[in-house]
């Protein structure tokens, strides 16, 4: 029997596609670890995305209720394992806040050097894997080439390449080794011109711009409502950086350091260096801008480390020996957020007056940054999901804790 091809109703039934639920992850290469996204799709169009997390949950907070604050430092390394130093710093500061302990000046400069090196290492991975998500393999290798050198510097400082536990309550576990500052300076000298390569490979690459500009645009109101922080918040044009705006206990580390918050203000980014121009297609708050903020922060971190090296080598006094915490903690509670590479990492410590904390809470920046993905990934193409999730730069170890 011949079918009546001119009947519009039959054609309609024939080409209509059904809605389908597709699992993306938990082992998908572009979900940055073990993130599972359940997509409701109609053909190539995604109408709804539901993130499922918890595959890396280790209940670090429960463990924290059974250890002294110094014993818990290694567990913070394993949260954001790409920026272990910055996690250590956040926890050390909140314990110092509870103890009301003031750090010697030299220790503060040491922390600035280490934390900003950690920021560069972390942003390099963020940049490399973002390229990987979008199908460009080479930037990943370029990023890891330089990151290795930072890990070598860290290894010399504390013996570890990933889980450092170096910055701790009271300062750091040891002073910087002799000759380390010269090596660090030599690295910066070599690294600074390399950044132009990254800009050529990704930032200004026309394929990259087409894949990211105008994709996943987040309004400033949305970013604030969902508690986004770090480059995700600043990529939407909100002028907030805890290194300048945070609590005094944290901002005093950066006292006297010259730096501008990387954010688009009055229609332009800071002009302290020669940055590539913003492409015409990009709009504020899209995936491209989040990436751009990260790249500019790498340059800013170099400046901060150089200033830190100057101050560290001219200041006298102790480098900050760790406090012996075999005494009881004072009863009370303290909460402090720091500007980690991926956003505002907060720790909450409740003490009942014994040697181990009564309650420990880690407020993860990626946790909030990822929760906004549900809103950003509505009515988009499947191929744009890696671009959006990659631009949020999440680390599952920190989300699941």
Partner 1 sequence: MSGPSFLDGLKAKFGDQVTGSNLEAIDPWIEVSPAVIVEVCRYLKEEPGAAFDYLNCVTAVDYFEPDEKKAAKTKWEPHLEVVYHLWSVQHKHSLVVKVMLPRWQDDVEGQLPEVSSVVEVWPAADWHEREVYDLCGVRFLKHPNLRRILCPEDWVGHPLRKDYEMPLEYQGIRGR
CB of 111 or CB of 249, closer to partner 1: 249
| 150-156-161-165 Cα dihedral, nearest 10 degrees | -110
Pairing of strands 36-42, 45-52: antiparallel
Q: What is the dihedral of CA 158, 165, 112, 179, to 10 degrees?
A: 0
Q: Could you count the other beta carbons within 10 Å of the beta carbon of residue 20?
A: 10
| Binders in 202-231 for partner 1, by CB under 8 A | 224-227
Question: CA 295 → CA 14, 59, 194, 222, 263, distances in Å?
Answer: 48, 33, 12, 23, 12
Per-residue tokens: 6: 């001119």
Q: For residues 298 and 120, is the Cβ–Cβ distance under 8 A?
A: yes
Residue 337 makes contact with partner 1 by CB under 8 A: yes
**Scanning residues 247 to 266, which ones bind partner 1 (CB under 8 A)?**
247
Give CA–CA dist 347/303, Å, rounded: 28
**Least spacing, CB of residue 287 vs partner 1, in Å:** 21
- Does 284 interact with partner 1 (rule: CB under 8 A)? no
| Subset of residues 340 to 369 that bind partner 1, contact rule: CB under 8 A | 344, 346, 348, 350, 352, 358-359, 361, 363, 367-368
Query: How many residues sit in the footprint of partner 1 (CB under 8 A)?
Result: 36
Structure tokens, 215: 């994709």
Q: How far is the CB of 265 from partner 1 (least distance, A)?
A: 15
318 token code pair: 């102790």
- For the segment 150-179, give every residue that binds partner 1 (CB under 8 A): none
Residue 62 touches partner 1, criterion: CB under 8 A: yes
Q: Within 10 A of 44 (CB to CB), how many other CB atoms are there?
A: 11
Nearest to 385 by CA among 29, 34, 80: 29
Footprint (CB under 8 A) of partner 1, residues 99-128? 100
In the complex, least distance from residue 47 CB atom to partner 1, rounded to whole angstroms? 17
Tokens of 73: 């430092």
Show the binding pattern over residues 365-384: x = contacts partner 1 (CB under 8 A), - = does not: --xx--x-------------
53 binding partner 1? (CB under 8 A) = yes
Take residue 86 and report the two structure tokens written for it.
């910055």
**329 touching partner 1, by CB under 8 A:** no
Q: Which residues bind partner 1 (CB under 8 A)?
A: 53-54, 57, 59, 61-62, 97-98, 100, 224-227, 238, 240, 245, 247, 332-335, 337, 344, 346, 348, 350, 352, 358-359, 361, 363, 367-368, 371, 400-401
């Amino acid at each position: 029997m011949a079918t009546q091809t001119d009947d519009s109703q039959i054609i309609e039934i024939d080409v209509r596609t059904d809605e389908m639920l597709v699992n993306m992850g938990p082992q998908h290469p572009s979900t940055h670890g073990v993130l599972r996204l359940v997509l409701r799709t109609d053909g190539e169009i995604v109408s709804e995305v539901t993130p499922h997390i918890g595959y890396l949950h280790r209940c670090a907070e429960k463990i924290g209720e059974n250890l002294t604050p110094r014993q818990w430092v290694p567990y913070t390394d394993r949260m954001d394992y790409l920026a272990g130093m910055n996690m250590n710093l956040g926890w050390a500061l909140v314990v110092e806040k509870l103890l009301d302990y003031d750090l010697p000046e030299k220790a503060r400069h040491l922390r600035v050097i280490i934390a900003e090196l950690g920021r560069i290492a972390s942003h390099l991975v963020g940049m490399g894997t973002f390229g990987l998500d979008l199908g460009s393999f080479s930037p990943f290798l370029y990023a890891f080439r330089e990151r290795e050198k930072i890990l070598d510097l860290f290894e010399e400082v504390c013996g570890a390449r990933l889980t450092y536990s170096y910055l701790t309550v009271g300062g750091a576990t040891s002073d910087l080794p002799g000759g380390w500052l010269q090596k660090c300076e030599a690295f910066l000298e070599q690294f600074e011109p390399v950044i132009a390569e990254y800009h050529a490979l990704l930032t200004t690459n026309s394929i990259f711009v087409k894949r990211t500009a105008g994709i996943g645009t987040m309004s400033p109101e949305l970013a604030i409502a969902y508690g986004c922080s770090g480059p995700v918040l600043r990529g939407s044009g909100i002028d907030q950086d805890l290194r300048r705006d945070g609590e005094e206990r944290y901002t005093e580390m950066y006292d006297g350091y010259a730096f501008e918050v990387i954010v688009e203000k009055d229609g332009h980014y800071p002009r302290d260096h020669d940055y590539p121009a913003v492409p015409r297609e990009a709009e504020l708050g899209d995936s491209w801008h989040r990436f751009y903020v990260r790249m500019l922060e790498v340059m800013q971190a170099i400046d901060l480390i150089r200033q830190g090296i100057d101050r560290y080598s001219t200041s006298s006094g102790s480098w900050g020996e760790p406090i012996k915490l075999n005494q009881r903690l004072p009863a009370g509670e303290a909460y402090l957020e720091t500007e980690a590479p991926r956003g505002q990492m907060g720790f909450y410590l409740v003490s009942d007056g014994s040697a181990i904390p009564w309650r420990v809470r880690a407020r993860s920046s990626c946790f909030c940054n990822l929760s906004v993905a549900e809103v950003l990934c509505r009515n988009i193409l499947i191929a744009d999901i890696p671009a959006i999730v990659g631009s949020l730069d999440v680390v599952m170890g920190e989300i699941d804790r």
